[in-house]
Structure 1
Amino acid sequence: MMLETCDRHLMMPNPAQKEKLAGILNHLNTHNEYYREVFLKNNVNLDASIDENFLKLPITTKKDIRKNYSIYFSDTKEEKFGELTSGSTGIPVNCQKTRAERMIAMLNIWKQRRIWDSEVDITNYLSLHDVNTYKKVGNLLNFEKDHMKRCFGRILALSPRWLSGPVSTFEKYAKLIQNGEMSYNKGTIKFLELAGEFADKNRRQYIEEIFGCKTINHYGTIETWCIAYECRMGHLHVQKDLMYAETTNHSILHGEKDIGEITVTSLYNKLMPILRYNIQDLGKVENIDCECGQSSQVITLYGGRTGDMIAGTKEVLGEIFFKRGVYKLINRGMDCIDSFRVEQVELNKFIMYIVKLPNYTDEAARILLDYIHIGIGSEVEVEFKFVEDIPPLPSGKIKTFYSFVKAGEGER
């Protein structure tokens, strides 16, 4: 848990948000043992203004929740519902909400979907993560080819307008369609809601072309549910009635003074408080008056988490760096890698696991190796290992880079 003092990057909550936040703090002081201790330790005076108190609240992380789990939740007689985080940054956490909190979050996200499509409802919307989808069509996150074909056929039989899930999963299904291995009439699915992973422009354009649909970014976490939702202008609008966003730890990327770690405060979660909660996604937050009609904070994501840095470098995000290497092959007409994962096993040693396509050649490995040497140093060793599959996390996310080396070790 870390206390961050005021800096020029911070935009304070608006008056309506301050009123809701004051209610949250008073509730926690009465019903939450953990935050009573936090308030005492950090001299939070509940009779003072939110302007005075907000910056006294420490930055919290998933690690803080795990460490203080037995006292982190507020006293309540309401029914509780739990969900596990994906574990992409470590051990999963069982996150809890009351029925009322779930309803608030659910109504908000459906409001956003209907801004895009007045016809969307629970009968034509399918989430790849939902247990009901699993019961109806099978495990969509099992990427054995014949299994994927069966599941996708069952999906189409349900005539969905919307599918929601990780971009990497939609890419895998798109490749089967593109290769003629799976039947699909372009435009049958109208919208793909991208959640759980960063989706860059190239990946979005690819699946939009194959599916003949529109993609929409839904930015959130299991802890918070929806934080920001994309408008028709392409902006990720923070859901200002429910969330306040800021960036912290701005020194993480040298020379990028406005980019930091996305940190959010929930204005409705009382059971499991989300106060200055550092998600560790890299991005920036701005206030804008958007052409879509909304005036709100807008989040711009930069495609990685601080935990995704290549150890030994000052600011190279492994996820982005290695994906760009694969895009380099594609731009040269060498679309020969189905999927991959890179592991940094020592400071100057990497293993790149590759599921190769039939047109893969040694030339692809040479181009990748040159790209890596130019990007992070000629002393780096890279071992290419060819595998049948890159297994996803239980959430369906496919982590393409992981470092086993401690951050900050041997900075280049």
Structure 2
Amino acid sequence: MKKIYHMTALLTCTALTILPSCHNDKSSDHSDGVLAVDVARPVTDSVMLYRTYPGTAGARASADIVARVNGTLLTRDYTSGSLVDKGTVLFTIEPTQYNDAVMQSRASLETARSEYTYASNQAAAMKKALESDAVSKLDVIQAESNMEQSAAAIKEAEAQLNLALTNLGYCTIRAPFKGHITSSTVDPGAYISGGGSPFTLATIYDDAEVVVTFSISEPQYQQMLGIRGTPQEEIFRKVPLSFDNELAHKYTGDLYYTSPIIDKSTGTITLKCIVDNPYGELRDGMYVTVHMPFGASSHALLVKDSSIGTDQLGKYLYVVNDSNRIVYTPIETGDIYRDSLRIVTKGIGPESRYVTSAMLKVRDGMEVKPVEAR
């Protein structure tokens, strides 16, 4: 029993001596502290190249909502900035005097018609009396003249009634088309003087589609038309658009107008494209960047757009060199491609390895362990 005890103690001491040694070996495997980062190489592909041009968006149609009669504004029947349908009542103006004018015009018309009936019967009687020499021919002529005057009075009364009905109709102001409407320039209760000249109450914009207007130099326009291998119909359709503030949806436009003249002061041609606006994000007056094709590249370098950083010097990539060290690399970029890739026109080559992860943890000159996806 005594021998067994000494043997157990010996084994325990040996184990205690070995364990720290094993722990030290495990730590030494990671003592270098080198960060592993994912890297990728640029994708080479044939892409269309674009130039950007500033433009402005305008509603497909717009109209001032005006008062065309005098009177007190009774109601404003919409919410400022809302989308209203065609025919929606927007404003009403006090109609009492115009209702009275309609009633008076209708009475005048009835009087004129009655006078015409009397005059026409009298003229017929005069003609019959002339046959028996009961009246003179001059009397017949006078009777016919009275009938013609009565007929003219009917036309004048009808015109006055139409004018009165028109003015009464102006008391109810409706939307001429579906669109977004601005706030009113006056509040209910205000007196409107629209009889002399139309008084603007609001403006409505039909922005179900918007028109983007921009200018391009004449040589660049000709270069665009001369892109080989691409039909003009494709060049003019689905032109990419972008905005200062990124919107929730992507937009493209179809070119439909090219100015027939060149602006002599700028040497540019005005173009317009129509853009669907199903989500109502595009508004009249927005600034738009139009991306027009100007050529094709069969060996364009494409990198992940999310891997590109931006600082005061411009855009850059973190590139891993042959010594597995980070190199801060300024680059020049082109347009986005297939939503997630960006064309790089200068700064890297097709075999460059750029960092795609842990970008906030790396710095220029830092040693890393590059992990390249297969």
| TM-score (normalised: structure 2) | 0.22
Greater relative CO (CA pairs within 8 A, separation 6+): 2
Q: Indicate the structure with greater strand content.
A: 2
